[in-house]
Structure 1
Amino acid sequence: MSPTIELADQVFETGPVVMTPSCVEWALHADEWRFRIEAHAPGVFRLRCGPRTWLEPAKPTPRAQRQADMLLVRQEPVGEMECRPLESGGWRLTQGDAGLEVGGPDAGLRLSRGDQCVARVRLPVRPAGGGDAGLWTLAWTLEPDEGVYGLGESLASLDRRGVRLVSDAPADRALPLAWSPRGWGMHVNTLDRVEHDLRAEGAYAVQARGAGLDLFLFVGEPSEILNQYTALTGRAGQPNLWPMGVWLDQAPGQSVEASLQQVRSLRGQGMALDALLLADPAILGFQVDKPVFEWAADRIPDWRACAAAASALDVHLAGACIPGVLQGTPLFDEWADRGWLLCDDEGEPWVCPGTPASGGRPFGLLDLTHRDAARLWTERHLQAVEEGLDAPACQAQFDLPDGIEARGGETGAVLRTAYPHLARRALFDAVAGPRTPQEGVMLSRDLFPGVQRFAWQQGPDVDNDWDGYAATLRAALAVGNSGVAVQTHRLGNAQRPADTMTPELYLRWLAMGVFSANFSFQGLPALMPDAFDADTRALVAHWLQWRYRLLPYVAGIIDDAVRTGLPVQRSMAQAYPADADAHAWDTQYLLGPALLVAPVMRPGGATEVYLPRGDAWWDLNTGWRYEGGTRWTVRPGLDTLPVFGREGHMLCLGPAAQHTGEINSARILEEVWMFGMPEHNPVVMRNKIRVMQMQGSSYIKGLEGLRILPSEGLEVKRRGAEVRISRAR
């Protein structure tokens, strides 16, 4: 029988056996087990409990080190804390205003901010079995009106109360971070299975498997939690500028020439576009008898001519790939003998059923834990990039059966969790190449611990109706709550009936996509702008001009995400945790720090908007100022979107363009909109604009040559390179 550990055990009354400014540790069960708490960072506590041989291995194996690197980019604690005993029993650990109490009469953990308890969790740790099969149970107590956010993608409610999620079940679309607006967050640090059960009233049960428990607890505002979580687990780098331009997803069965003709048609109507994503199946793959890539000759007879034609249009190409080799080929047999493919429990190569990327043909999965196999796959894609492929797309979150094993020993839930991470890492290395800092994107829908390290996440497939439009928006906000900075949207779905896509829905969906991380047109003719009347096409061109004018701001938000971990589209619960009224408005969002966007989500035009408390808001369409904490009914036309500027902020806009190649990197800005007296430096790509306040005025450097639109009641005076904003007299 495995040992039982209760935080109320008298062992906590004897005091720690280790106490340093960053670490406190108790001995358990004749010192064969340890319970360790680290001040991992300000507001972050790391709890580890288990056998000493698990907690302090004599020499970490390469497999263990590889898995640790997949989970964390910062292993060592950087915080400090105070530890003191409590009169009621147990101990209190404090970092600034973040506190953690362990043990005591209620046998649990208590997280606090200042004098306020923000979370209680019972931690009766009783592994259900020995070794790696241990089951560790955490029982959180939730207040009746307390929301729990994060935990991956949701197409419905952003509050995850009422659901059950399994980390390694691909259909659950789970991610490891959970948090509450009350001021706590939680992350179980493992590649093994974690089950999140929020179905019971007032309770949140977490079960994690493994030989030991590794748990991170966060205290703070949601923005602080996301900051610390992504600093701990990794953040994406800044992508190139071109992926932020408009995309076109090729329709199934469509020829490349037909897609390029669609690009020419859009450009001829004044509509901007930057990238073409070629449809499944994969456009390149291994030859049948050589470890060399070849282009799909039946779809692209001459890849070089195709790449040249796209380049002549300033269009970047992306396309699907599969991390494997087709069954029934000599190369499949050769790599099976070499041990480069994932195998079943009898040592035979496991055959993955056909996928859209493989054209329905079964294939063997490359064992990406094998360094030589992973290196070869990266090198072949690097060559493809050099030949004109700007971004690979890969879906590698396979539902691998138990018993399938990698060379490194990964199997079961660990392999299901690790494999998409390994695939994405290998492809990103090919795209980013040797550049420092690494720039580039690879497209995927896969969700796994560490997904936020990669800059470009694809949105879900949804129906071509108002509910599908709402689902893609909620999905982006949900993964943003989970630490993913960028998720894109598809304007419709070429795989679903298109007769429900009305001009009104099309334009509302498009407007939301313009004010997001990014979006893509669908190449199905019924979902292209040419399928609609001339007035609708003119409005499409209008919104695309807005998209390109917004690029410096959106690029600046993504640049900020590299430093803060905050997403491009931010839910109301995340941005305004103290305003409980705001949390119900789950299709409103902040686009970066400066803009509140309230998309029209139903036909008819009229929509309600809630302006959160704590800020005043300026309507971009009318210039009127509104106090926060108020609700308004607005009726925007199809050429407008309810967008409000946050007081004290600025919006910097660039020029309209047909593609990002027309944007002068030395002059990316054209105009500045001000929302009240400027107090904050603007968010903008390559920002060199600085705001300083003095004697009731704002002094701004970096606005030379730009048009300045102050809000009502302000006046602008230029003094050389400096601009003074003051109250109008």
Structure 2
Amino acid sequence: MRSVNFDGYRLEDGVLWLEGAQSQARLEAYAGGYWRLLVWHRSRDAGKGSWVVRRPEAVPIEAEPEAAGLRLRAGAAELHLRLAPFGLDWAGLALADLQVDELPTWTTDAAAVAEAVAGVGAVRETEDGHALGGGYALHLQERDGRRYFGLGERTGFLDKKGRRWLNWTADAFEQQPKDDPLYQAHPFLIAFDEGQARGLFLDESWKSAFDLAFREPGRSRIAVEGPTFDLWLVPGPEPAAVLERFTALVGRPGLPPLWALGYHQCRWSYPDEDSVREVVRKFERHEIPLSALWLDIDYMDGYKVFTFSPHRFPDPPRLVRELAEKGVRVVTIVDPGVKKEAGYSVYESGRKLDAFVKNRREEELVGEVWPKPAVWPDFSRPEVRRWWGEQHRPLVEAGVAGIWNDMNEPAAFAVEGDEVFGIGKTLPSDARHGERLHAEVHNLYGLLMSRATHEGLAHLREGRRPFVLTRSGFSGIQHYAWVWTGDNGSYWEHMAMSVPMLLNLGLSGVAFCGADIGGFRGDADGELLARWTWLGAFYPFMRNHSAKTSRRQEPWAFGEPWLGHVREAIRFRYRLLPYLYTLAEEAVRTGQPLMRPLFYHFPNDPEAAAVHDQFLLGPDLLAAPVLQPGARRRLVYLPEGGWRDFWTGAEQAGPAWVVAEAPLDRIPLWQRVGSALPLSVPEPPAQAHWDPLIWRVAPAAHVLGAAYLDEGEGDGAGLRVRLTGRYDGSRLLVTQEPVTDGRAWLELVGADEPRRASAPFEYEDGRFRVELQAGEAWVEW
């Protein structure tokens, strides 16, 4: 690769343009403190758009010469620029040594494509086997103590420094702890040091790589295969500020239906109506709450999407109504592979629209996935997305409540008669999406499919909130779908890996995510299932899912005492629903994740930044899951402030490392002192009006809590309720505003028996509860 130098610059309408012999660039500034650097080869124009960015209001740049180059200002934002050699200094980050590869992998000429991007876009192979030729690379000077977070769904620990990460969505069935890439591509990075967070978003759908001090300990490298290098600088300085600004840029989720936050049960497969009914009957028999049951690929007629098997599911609307009467929704899987079969309405209507991806001969690209033969819709085209959304009508008319998009990297078992090998088993990079190569569209495929599904459900189920789960996605996927981490295994190591994986998804903007509880492949046992279900009670998305080759792992699969432990974990999830739903509404407004690493709220605590095996749920609950078999206690880090053991009420001041007791019937859990957590009873609610609403208070001089109330469905207005309080060591007074129609209770754990209270109260073994009257309650000791 050759270094890029710029010979001159000009300011035009508040935009800085850079001129060089081989490349051109422009710098733009936007309200909120964003900067955008776009570099392109001189053979291309500067009109690159974006699949995901919602541009803020532009702010004019002012340039002032200085010894090393230019000092740029845009409102309160500032950076320093060097032309030759090119470099940027911004918010403590030194970006320099921009390089370009002269091999044009972005050409659409068939012969050049065949030579340059055959297979997976390779021009040459790097040391780890990943092709990274033909594009741009920018280097980042390292500093001692810097950590990196984000990059979406990744194996390994929370801090992503020290490895090379590839953005290329892949069907990672046999994922191992060091595997990369996986199903998602998120070229978004949070650089964190000295308590400061800054975001770097590479808005490029081509294959890209983030080498984070792997090859050279003193510097990192961001590289892309493609004709442009489009980098957004997202300011902090707090981690929450970075997430708020980044999600404002690429999109935030809609408020989910309330049932989506409950417990879900899935298996590959419940193959017929009788097996579905039997599973639901067992949930009732064992008194385990259930919000949704999922149908995997075997519900279809010969793997033809948008169909039901007429033999195994002869009357889907009746089955769905039966389950709905029990409060259980049905979610069905839909893959992108469409069976190429004459007379099949989905294929015929798609063929008429010319909706499918083409090969280099401009013919339908035909391959194999679950259906054989199969073709793949070209979701890069708006008319194809509208057509796909309409195909969901039979499922919606049957009463299906949500859609599960799988195999959408896209995965392929064979293409045009040849078995697929290489990274992720996918379509060839020279496949055609209109005028675009698959090499450019590949990372977007899951996002665009999810968009088509979401928009289709919004149209077909008007007045109800779309629910879509996806395996594959790109930055901004959270606007259209929830994410699960794919085909994990029934191993303690995979349960442990799910914590940093989900935390980094949250730090990449994906607030609603989860991992298959119990593990998808392999064989769980009772202890693993119990511990994982307790951890899963704190996932934003809580689903038990296993493969047909695996041992059964429904909650009752291993008998007692495991059934009792799993049941209590699921019931606890329903107690948490008011808090989870309130956090969900916050994610919609601000982009904040539900699961948060400790440094998120304690950025100046160096111990917190190193913790990868415990997390915060919102700001006020700290969970420390048990991740090893046989363990009955574990070491836990409590950051600065006061913390109350959720189960006993015992108070502990932080920062401190403590040894926590961890019996099988619960998870080590702490509540932040001064918080009021909204809880309810352990039953699936019909609406998010929480009757009763139970305020679990950890007393302090000042107490604060919030709860979000609405219908749990639709687009009607909601109500945010606040609880405030004061505690002087002998008297606690709390006030709820506004007062709601349902019952509200004040609850304390670990309290002495009061002398008196504002109303008749319950007290037993340190647990105190009194009803709020006219929105108030007080207690005296």
TM over 0.5: yes
Q: CA deviation at 1:270?
A: 1.5
Contact 1:717 1:725 in 2 (8 A): yes
Q: Name whichever of 381-390 and 331-340 sits farther off.
A: 331-340
1:672 and 2:696 aligned: yes
1:231 and 2:212 aligned: no
Spell out the pairing of 1:23-422 with structure 2 (5 A cutoff). 23-29=14-20, 35-50=25-40, 57=47, 68=50, 70-72=51-53, 74-77=54-57, 83-93=63-73, 96=76, 99-103=78-82, 107-112=86-91, 118-126=92-100, 128-129=102-103, 132=106, 135-170=135-170, 171=172, 172-173=181-182, 174-182=185-193, 183-198=197-212, 199-200=214-215, 201-220=217-236, 221-252=238-269, 254-281=271-298, 283=300, 293-331=306-344, 332=347, 335-336=350-351, 339-355=354-370, 358=371, 361-395=372-406, 396-398=408-410, 399-407=426-434, 409-422=435-448
Distance in 2 (alpha carbons) for counterparts of 1:534 and 1:578: 45
Q: Name whichever of 486-495 and 323-332 sits farther off.
A: 323-332
Q: Name whichever of 710-719 and 337-346 sits farther off.
A: 710-719
Distance 1:339 1:720, change over 3 A: closer
The letter for the 2-side match of 1:272 is P
- Which residue number in structure 1 is paired with residue 123 of structure 2? none
More strand as a share of residues: 2
Q: Name whichever of 690-699 and 158-167 sits farther off.
A: 690-699
From 492, 513, 516, the counterpart of 2:518: 492
Distance in 1 (alpha carbons) for counterparts of 2:500 and 2:737: 38
Spell out the pairing of 1:432-581 with structure 2 (5 A cutoff). 432-433=458-459, 439-498=465-524, 501=525, 503-522=526-545, 526-581=552-607
More helix as a share of residues: 1
The letter for the 2-side match of 1:367 is D
- Corresponding residue SS for 1:124: strand
Return the TM-score normalized by structure 1: 0.86
Summarize deviations over 1:138-187 as a string: whole Å, max 9, x none: 10112243221111212321222232233224251331110122222201
Distance 1:457 1:202, change over 3 A: same
1:707 and 2:719 aligned: no
Q: CA deviation at 1:372?
A: 4.0
Q: CA deviation at 1:311?
A: 2.2
Spell out the pairing of 1:585-596 with structure 2 (5 A cutoff). 585-596=611-622
Identity %: 24
Contact 1:142 1:202 in 2 (8 A): yes
- Corresponding residue SS for 1:670: strand
Distance in 2 (alpha carbons) for counterparts of 1:241 and 1:348: 45
Distance in 2 (alpha carbons) for counterparts of 1:242 and 1:78: 40
Return the TM-score normalized by structure 2: 0.80
The letter for the 2-side match of 1:268 is R
Contact 1:462 1:471 in 2 (8 A): no
Summarize deviations over 1:392-431 as a string: whole Å, max 9, x none: 2122111221211023x22132221222222111111222
1:688 and 2:714 aligned: no
- Which residue number in structure 1 is paired with residue 5 of structure 2? 6
Distance 1:416 1:107, change over 3 A: closer
Q: Name whichever of 626-635 and 516-525 sits farther off.
A: 516-525
Distance in 2 (alpha carbons) for counterparts of 1:643 and 1:329: 57
Distance 1:99 1:649, change over 3 A: farther
Distance in 1 (alpha carbons) for counterparts of 2:744 and 2:208: 52
Contact 2:271 2:312 in 1 (8 A): no
Distance in 2 (alpha carbons) for counterparts of 1:450 and 1:55: 26
Summarize deviations over 1:621-666 as a string: whole Å, max 9, x none: 2212222221001112222221111233211101221x343x5736
Contact 2:486 2:515 in 1 (8 A): yes
Distance in 2 (alpha carbons) for counterparts of 1:497 and 1:286: 26
Q: CA deviation at 1:698?
A: 6.9
- Which residue number in structure 2 is paired with residue 115 of structure 1? none
- Unaligned runs of 5+ residues in structure 2 are 108-133, 173-180, 411-425, 711-718, 760-771
Distance 1:4 1:438, change over 3 A: farther
Q: CA deviation at 1:438?
A: 6.8
- Corresponding residue SS for 1:197: strand
- Corresponding residue SS for 2:493: helix
Distance in 2 (alpha carbons) for counterparts of 1:597 and 1:319: 32
Distance in 1 (alpha carbons) for counterparts of 2:778 and 2:69: 58
Contact 2:518 2:533 in 1 (8 A): no
Summarize deviations over 1:287-321 as a string: whole Å, max 9, x none: 7xxxx953222431222232232223221111112
Contact 2:700 2:726 in 1 (8 A): no
Distance in 1 (alpha carbons) for counterparts of 2:72 and 2:349: 60
- Corresponding residue SS for 1:71: coil
Q: CA deviation at 1:528?
A: 2.0
- Corresponding residue SS for 1:529: coil
Summarize deviations over 1:71-119 as a string: whole Å, max 9, x none: 21x22435577654334442143654x532111797421122xxxxx21
Summarize deviations over 1:445-490 as a string: whole Å, max 9, x none: 1122321213421233222231121122332122112221111232
Distance 1:624 1:293, change over 3 A: closer
- Corresponding residue SS for 2:659: strand
